[in-house]
């Protein structure tokens, strides 16, 4: 008996599996959750707080990402702590953002809009920054929460979460130059922080890359 018309072929089965990943990425909220997880493991409560979603909603999205093996979790007491499944997922996301930037003209426009809101904010290139870091003429600030810094950061950067920024600046002599980064090219925190640093009389630059983009070869 021939089942070829009713049963999917091996090739069809294969593409159906590939499509599972595609389907799990078809939500802007799931992409936001995954982007947050590139900065380190997080609890459902923390993800809910940072995305502005309800805990129930975040849990539903995480279940879809778990089913396609893009995220995993471990138990810490009564808490489930979620993280990306492995570094390959990280690399895939970086390539996805690059592809989107390359193909969708709206994305660079959104970035431009972001920078236009903050006139006079200079971005420093990775090459220039590395040169100054080697020469020890600039301090690099990681503005993310401490746990994200501990999960991974740009080598040589120091942890100064946003809420500690003003107190930290008071400890510095005025001639010091600073560069700051947060969660990548579209993170408004970086630009806001650089503006605040400049208002205090320092020379400051925004770093376009987040940790993942910086370390991605």
* In a shared domain, residues 27 and 61: yes
pLDDT (0 to 100) of residue 112: 82
Whether residue 97 is contained in a domain is answered as no
Confidence band, pLDDT 50/70/90 cuts, at residue 185: confident
Confidence band, pLDDT 50/70/90 cuts, at residue 14: very high
Active site residues: 182
Whether residue 95 is contained in a domain is answered as no
Residue 173 sits in a domain of what CATH number? 3.40.250.10
* In a shared domain, residues 50 and 110: no
The residue range of the domain holding 15 is: 10-89
Residue 22 sits in a domain of what CATH number? 1.10.10.10
Q: pLDDT tens across 84-138, in order?
A: 999 999 999 999 999 998 999 998 888 888 777 777 888 999 999 999 999 999 9
Helix then strand then coil, % of the chain, to nearest 5: 55, 15, 30
Domain boundary (25, 56, 89) is at 89
* In a shared domain, residues 49 and 118: no
pLDDT (0 to 100) of residue 217: 54
Whether residue 99 is contained in a domain is answered as no
* Ordered strands of the 79-84 beta sheet: 42-43, 79-84, 71-76
Q: pLDDT tens across 40-80, in order?
A: 999 999 999 999 999 999 999 999 999 999 999 999 999 99
Is residue 1 pLDDT above 60, yes or no?
no
* In a shared domain, residues 209 and 111: yes
* In a shared domain, residues 111 and 203: yes
Tokens of 46: 């923390």
pLDDT (0 to 100) of residue 8: 84
pLDDT (0 to 100) of residue 6: 72
């Amino acid at each position: 008996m021939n089942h070829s018309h009713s049963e999917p072929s091996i090739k069809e089965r294969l593409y159906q599996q590939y499509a599972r990943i595609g389907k799990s990425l078809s939500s802007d909220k799931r992409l936001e959750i995954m982007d947050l997880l590139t900065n380190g493991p997080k609890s459902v409560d923390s993800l809910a707080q940072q995305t502005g979603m309800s805990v129930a909603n975040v849990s539903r999205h995480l279940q879809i990402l778990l089913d396609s093996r893009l995220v995993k979790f471990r138990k810490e007491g009564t808490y489930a702590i979620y993280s990306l499944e492995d570094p390959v997922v990280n690399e895939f996301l970086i390539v996805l953002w690059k592809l989107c930037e390359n193909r969708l003209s709206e994305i660079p426009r959104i970035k431009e809009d972001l920078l236009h809101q903050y006139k006079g904010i200079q971005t420093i290139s990775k090459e220039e920054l590395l040169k100054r870091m080697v020469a020890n003429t600039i301090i690099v600030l990681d503005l993310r929460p401490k746990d994200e810094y501990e999960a991974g950061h740009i080598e040589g950067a120091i942890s100064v979460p946003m809420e500690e920024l003003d107190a930290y600046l008071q400890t510095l002599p005025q001639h010091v130059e600073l560069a700051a980064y947060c969660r990548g090219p579209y993170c408004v925190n970086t630009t806001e922080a650089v503006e605040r640093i400049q208002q205090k009389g320092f020379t400051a630059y925004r770093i376009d890359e987040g940790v993942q983009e910086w370390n991605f070869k």
